[in-house]
Amino acid sequence: MNNLVLLFFLNNVLATLIIGGRFFFKSDKTFKYFGIALLLDAVAFTIWSIGIALKPVNLETYVTYGVVFFIASLVFFLIASAQDFSVKNRQIIIWLGVIVGAVVLYLRAFVYSSVPSFSQQGFFFFNPNAIVQMLYIFALVMATVPAIDAVASKFRLPYYNNLFKFGFLAQVAGGIVLLTSNVANPDTTALNVAGWIISLSYLALLTTFGIGKKAWI
């Protein structure tokens, strides 16, 4: 195992936990639901980190449990983006999100199995089936981008608005790189660059919105 890989996942746990907690305790519902989504991501990354550290025979089980929380987080990102909608439209969006999330989870768990594994260099790969990979990417973009825009719009100063928006968009782009990487043809340079972009952007988000106070004034 590459220790930097485990450190990367633990860094994601810490960042999503602290930033998510900060948003969760805000009274604004858009912030609160966005915070819940990040906290669910923290649980997913924790489970994946345990699997990566232990490298158990049933690694697929750890990955699947993490996926449950990951998909749940996408539903809450969707809920966060719909808070300014009418009650009826918000309910439609929420139910669509729940149904689509359940379908993706069912396909991932029972129809199109994944084969998570490690490369010779110690990099971890989720290796989802191509159909599931496509569904992940569509769901990730369609759930998170509107939520990121909805939350960013609530920060009045352009600096914080743009930092939040581009910081989390970098997370989405990096996530897509990780999802589309395959152990059969690993590009270690791309993975390293994506990992550093994700980590550094999380550092900026963590210090500004998780620990810092100026953005909230």
- H helix or E strand, kind and range, residue 125: strand 124-125
Which residues does 54 contact at the CB level (< 8 Å), separation at least 6? 62
| pLDDT, tens only, 76-109 | 999 999 999 999 999 999 999 999 999 999 999 9
Query: 50-71 pLDDT, tens per residue?
Result: 999 999 899 999 999 999 999 9
Residues 6+ apart with CB under 8 A from 205: 15, 19, 163, 164, 167, 168
Overall pTM surpassing 0.85 (yes/no): yes
Which pair of structure tokens corresponds to residue 132?
A: 């599931």
What domains appear along the chain, each with residue ranges and CATH number?
3-216 (1.20.1070)
Tokens for 6, please give them: 């485990």
Q: In this model, does residue 183 exceed pLDDT 90? A: no
